[in-house]
Structure 1
């Protein structure tokens, strides 16, 4: 694991772990949203339009914010995004 592991967020917070990928064969993104108990509440993955990994990561952050708003959590939960 190289010293990296998932740490729960504080009570009332949700955490999205996301990734954007660009290489010769693939351009995509994905993420998992977990609550403060570590329960996965949302999973997503799919293609994105991007020319480099920075653009892919910005795209996945936009998707994350759209999902957070669609879940109706704005004003009810605080959000952490980890890339």
Structure 2
């Protein structure tokens, strides 16, 4: 199993400057923590990495249960 590298971007106005784990250069992305794609990777679609915006609060991901208890559908009329 392969995992995505994680890099922390450097804020620059509305952008994040990310040190690329593939080409060792820098890429410019929009603000926000999440997946990013490096267009320098030789195989299209495989240059993904997790980009962290240092100005965002830390997000803790929590796995959902594998077999959640079914809940009845609810319709809210406004």
Shorter-chain TM-score above 0.5: no
Higher helix share: 1
Higher strand share: 1
* More RCO (CA 8 Å, sep 6+): 1
Structure having the higher Rg: 2
Which interval holds the TM-score relative to the shorter structure? 0.3 to 0.5
TM-score by length of 2: 0.33
